Structure 1
């Protein structure tokens, strides 16, 4: 029988993180649910059986990361995979978003995962194996108005992930990054409430469970990078590196986003 692996999953109290944790626990893997919402993570872990546990983690705090790593090893005896999933969004036109919220987004969406990756890598390097998994975003390729700083944080996160992966290509540690499309989570609800973020609805949304399935499959096959959906991702990438075309299409994309949001609202009614 294959030995279960131990996963530390951030942002695991809800959304994509919760879906990943649930699927892994049901597959008889060891899962440590980490979240700044410690009560929510503990409540979910309690429903997942003996292979699940929870720990409080503010990913902006290096000391909290070390406590989470230690708690994972103390609970399960090992630590094999870090899934960096936690993040936040502050919507609005860039000029109207408080500088403190721009900074919070970068601290959470970039420096939080960076701190976790560096800390986990040092442990994985000592044990000779491990897997660093980043749940990023298709906005790492295509900037959207209304969530400009969110896209900036994801652009930077993708660059850091691949930069570190190349540096450590001979280390024996695996690196995987997954870019979900719009996903039905509380974050998407937040974006839906702000008309400035309407372009977030250009593409149809998917469920958190769909993203969780994609992440787990990517881990199993040690994929380097996975985009969602795979069909059409080339178009997104090409548009993202052509700012002239992106500006020319902006009004059209905004109209598509309004239509997509209206369809989402209609289906929820």
Structure 2
């Protein structure tokens, strides 16, 4: 039996993509699942597919009041909460010159402030019960910014800093913290990015499935891993290049060309299907 068996888990953005995959896999590991999503219908469909161990609930992660309502529901259902997975995110692909400032504001508000609101709302409850595991789904763009996803990467940079800052503050509290940096993943977000010609670096490497990311996430929960890179072999390169402005500028041209070629091949395959 998995060490995750019997635990309760709240997953944001659980109506599709990585969140839905985590919900299904967590339930299959005998965990009790609360699926939160701004699209409650999508969350309910995932919960219906899973069965009695899953419950769906509406949540706009930008709304602190809704966060408290969702946490109240978790305590009502489970008598507490073992794991919060901050997964919900959006992308507004396009060069900065192609987007409105409101697009960047929305991205920062959802992708950084949304999880921050969730962690700050959950923190006193975790501290009161003396346990709890914060799991943050971040991104390799938290180290390596991409042209066409500038505000997305900025939000992920901020989210990583907040996650680790909070973990350092709570290092004596008995709480656990894990942050996961998925690589390019087959989700509705990636499908959206594939419609743009301004995000070629999102297709620089071969994408993985949402199920694969879910496996990595739940293994990190089991092991209480502090930080997980996908793939692990890319971690040193991503961290090195991401903190070296000269290397970032030097690699941009070739990386965009390679990504654009992969995107063109992807579109060709889809048109033939």
Please indicate, yes or no, whether the TM-score normalized by the shorter chain is above 0.5. Answer: yes
Count how many residue pairs are aligned between Structure 1 and Structure 2.
269
Query: Which of 2, 5, 9 matches 2:7?
Result: 5
TM-score (norm 1): 0.97
Q: Which residue of 2 aligns with 1:204?
A: 206
Q: Contact 2:80 / 2:129 at 8 angstroms: preserved in 1?
A: no
Q: Which residue of 2 aligns with 1:26?
A: 28
Q: Find the aligned partners of 1:266 and 1:237 in 2 and give their Cα distance.
A: 33
Q: Which residue of 2 aligns with 1:173?
A: 175
Q: Find the aligned partners of 1:267 and 1:166 in 2 and give their Cα distance.
A: 46
Q: Find the aligned partners of 2:183 and 2:126 in 1 and give their Cα distance.
A: 30
Query: Which of 2, 14, 17 matches 2:16?
Result: 14
Q: Which residue of 2 aligns with 1:148?
A: 150
Q: Find the aligned partners of 1:119 and 1:153 in 2 and give their Cα distance.
A: 19
Could you tell me which runs of 5 or more consecutive residues in structure 1 were left unpaired when the two chains were aligned.
none
Is 1:116 the counterpart of 2:118? The answer is yes
Offset of 1:266 from its aligned partner?
4.0
Offset of 1:246 from its aligned partner?
1.3
Query: Matched residue of 2:51: which SS?
Result: coil
Offset of 1:96 from its aligned partner?
1.9
Q: Find the aligned partners of 1:257 and 1:109 in 2 and give their Cα distance.
A: 24
- Partner deviation per Cα, 1:143-176 (whole Å, 9 max, x = no partner): 0000100000000000000011001100100000
- Partner deviation per Cα, 1:55-109 (whole Å, 9 max, x = no partner): 1000000000000001112122221100000000001111221111111001100
Query: Matched residue of 2:198: which SS?
Result: helix
Q: Which residue of 2 aligns with 1:236?
A: 238
Query: Matched residue of 1:209: which SS?
Result: helix
Q: Which runs of 4+ in 1 moved over 4 A?
A: none
Q: Find the aligned partners of 2:81 and 2:103 in 1 and give their Cα distance.
A: 33
Query: Which of 182, 187, 198 matches 1:185?
Result: 187
Q: Find the aligned partners of 2:212 and 2:225 in 1 and give their Cα distance.
A: 17
Query: Which of 34, 48, 52 matches 1:50?
Result: 52
Q: Find the aligned partners of 2:164 and 2:193 in 1 and give their Cα distance.
A: 28
Offset of 1:48 from its aligned partner?
0.8
Offset of 1:26 from its aligned partner?
1.4
CA RMSD of aligned residues (A): 1.2
Offset of 1:267 from its aligned partner?
4.2
Query: Matched residue of 1:43: which SS?
Result: helix
Could you tell me which runs of 5 or more consecutive residues in structure 2 were left unpaired when the two chains were aligned.
none
Query: Which of 253, 256, 269 matches 2:255?
Result: 253
